[in-house]
Structure 1
Amino acid sequence: MHKGRIILHIDLNCFYASVEQIYDPSLKGKPIAIAGNPKERRGIVITCSYEARKSGVYTTMNVGEARRKCPELIVLPPNFDRYRAASKSFFSLLKEYSEILQPVSIDEGYIQLPIIEGQNVLEHVHGIQDRIWNELQLPCSIGIAPNKFLAKMASDMRKPMGITILRKRDVPSVLWPLNVKEMHGIGKSTAEKLKELGILTIGELAAADEYTLKQKFGINGLRLKQKANGEDDRPVDPEAIFDTKSVGNSTTLSRDTTDRDELYKIITTLSEKVAERLKAKKLAGVTVSILIRTATWETYTRSKSINNAIFSKEDIVEHAWSLFNKNWNEEPVRLLGVTISNVSNVKEMTQQLTFFDFEEHIKDEPIIKLVDQIEQKFGKGVILRGSDIVKPTGKHQANTSFSKDFWDDHI
Structure 2
Amino acid sequence: MRRIIFHIDVNNAFLSWSAVYRLSKGETLDIRTIPSVIGGDEASRRGVVLAKSNAAKKFGVVTGESIYTAKKKCPDLMVFPKNSDAYSYYSNEVIKIFQEYTDYIERYSIDESFLDVTALAGKEPYRLAYEIKERIKKELGFTVNVGISDNKILAKMASEFEKPDKIHTLYRSEIKEKLWPLPIEELFMVGKQATKRLKDMYIFTIGDLANYDPSLLKQKFKSYGELIWKYANGLGEEEINYQEEEAKVISNELTLPKDVQSKTEAAEVLKELADKLGRRIRALNRYCTTIGVHIKTSEFINYSHQKKLKTATCSTAVIYNTALELFEKKWQYEPVRLLGISLSGLCEEAIEQTSFFSDSGVGMIKEQKLDKVLDSLKDKYGDEIISKLSLREDKSGKRS
TM-score by length of 1: 0.55
1:238 pairs, out of 239, 242, 249, with 242
Letter in structure 2 aligned against 1:6: I
Query: Does 2:221 align with 1:217?
Result: yes
CA change 1:117–1:27 in 2 (3 A) is closer
1:23 pairs, out of 11, 21, 24, with 21
Query: Does 2:105 align with 1:107?
Result: no
How far is the alpha carbon of 1:133 from its aligned partner? Answer: 0.8
Query: Residue 110 of structure 1 aligns to a residue in which SS?
Result: strand
Deviations 1:190-240 (A, max 9, x none): 112222322121111001112111111222212211211112134211159
- The answer on whether the counterparts of 1:101 and 1:237 sit within 8 Å (CA) in structure 2 is yes
Deviations 1:337-392 (A, max 9, x none): xxxxxxxxxxxxxxxxxxxxxxxxxxxxxxxxxxxxxxxxxxxxxxxxxxxxxxxx
Deviations 1:224-270 (A, max 9, x none): 11211112134211159xxxxxxxxxxxxxxxxxxxxxxxxxxxxxx
Partner of residue 247, structure 1: none
Which whole-Å CA distance do the structure 2 matches of 1:213 and 1:162 have between them? Answer: 34
- The answer on whether the counterparts of 2:2 and 2:118 sit within 8 Å (CA) in structure 1 is no
Query: Does 2:71 align with 1:67?
Result: yes
Q: What stretches of structure 1 of length at least 5 have no aligned partner?
A: 241-411
CA change 1:18–1:116 in 2 (3 A) is closer
Letter in structure 2 aligned against 1:133: K
Query: Does 2:6 align with 1:8?
Result: yes
Which whole-Å CA distance do the structure 1 matches of 2:40 and 2:49 have between them? Answer: 7
Deviates more, 1:219-228 or 1:104-113: 219-228
- The answer on whether the counterparts of 1:142 and 1:154 sit within 8 Å (CA) in structure 2 is yes
The two structures, once aligned, show a CA RMSD in angstroms of 1.8
Query: Does 2:155 align with 1:151?
Result: yes
Alignment of 1:303-342 (within 5 A): none
Alignment of 1:42-191 (within 5 A): 42-116=46-120, 119-191=123-195
Deviations 1:51-102 (A, max 9, x none): 2212211110111221122222210111101111111111121121111111
- The answer on whether the counterparts of 2:40 and 2:81 sit within 8 Å (CA) in structure 1 is yes
How far is the alpha carbon of 1:176 from its aligned partner? Answer: 1.1
- The answer on whether the counterparts of 1:98 and 1:114 sit within 8 Å (CA) in structure 2 is no
CA change 1:118–1:34 in 2 (3 A) is closer
Which whole-Å CA distance do the structure 2 matches of 1:203 and 1:119 have between them? Answer: 29
Alignment of 1:233-382 (within 5 A): 233-239=237-243
Which whole-Å CA distance do the structure 1 matches of 2:121 and 2:168 have between them? Answer: 21
Query: Residue 24 of structure 1 aligns to a residue in which SS?
Result: helix
- The answer on whether the counterparts of 1:140 and 1:162 sit within 8 Å (CA) in structure 2 is yes
Structure 1 ranges of 4+ moved more than 6 A: none
Deviations 1:295-336 (A, max 9, x none): xxxxxxxxxxxxxxxxxxxxxxxxxxxxxxxxxxxxxxxxxx
Query: Residue 97 of structure 1 aligns to a residue in which SS?
Result: coil
Deviations 1:137-161 (A, max 9, x none): 1211111111111111111112110
Query: Residue 141 of structure 1 aligns to a residue in which SS?
Result: strand
Which whole-Å CA distance do the structure 1 matches of 2:121 and 2:21 have between them? Answer: 41
Query: Residue 176 of structure 2 aligns to a residue in which SS?
Result: helix
Which whole-Å CA distance do the structure 1 matches of 2:43 and 2:120 have between them? Answer: 55
Which whole-Å CA distance do the structure 1 matches of 2:8 and 2:140 have between them? Answer: 14
TM-score by length of 2: 0.57
Letter in structure 1 aligned against 2:101: Y
- The answer on whether the counterparts of 1:14 and 1:50 sit within 8 Å (CA) in structure 2 is no
CA change 1:115–1:239 in 2 (3 A) is closer
Which whole-Å CA distance do the structure 2 matches of 1:6 and 1:117 have between them? Answer: 7
How far is the alpha carbon of 1:4 from its aligned partner? Answer: 1.5
How far is the alpha carbon of 1:118 from its aligned partner? Answer: 5.3
- The answer on whether the counterparts of 1:4 and 1:115 sit within 8 Å (CA) in structure 2 is no
Letter in structure 2 aligned against 1:94: F
How far is the alpha carbon of 1:27 from its aligned partner? Answer: 2.4
Which whole-Å CA distance do the structure 2 matches of 1:116 and 1:20 have between them? Answer: 33
Letter in structure 1 aligned against 2:99: K
Letter in structure 2 aligned against 1:208: Y
Letter in structure 1 aligned against 2:194: T
Query: Does 2:207 align with 1:203?
Result: yes
Quick one: percent identity of the two aligned structures?
A: 35
1:38 pairs, out of 11, 34, 42, with 42
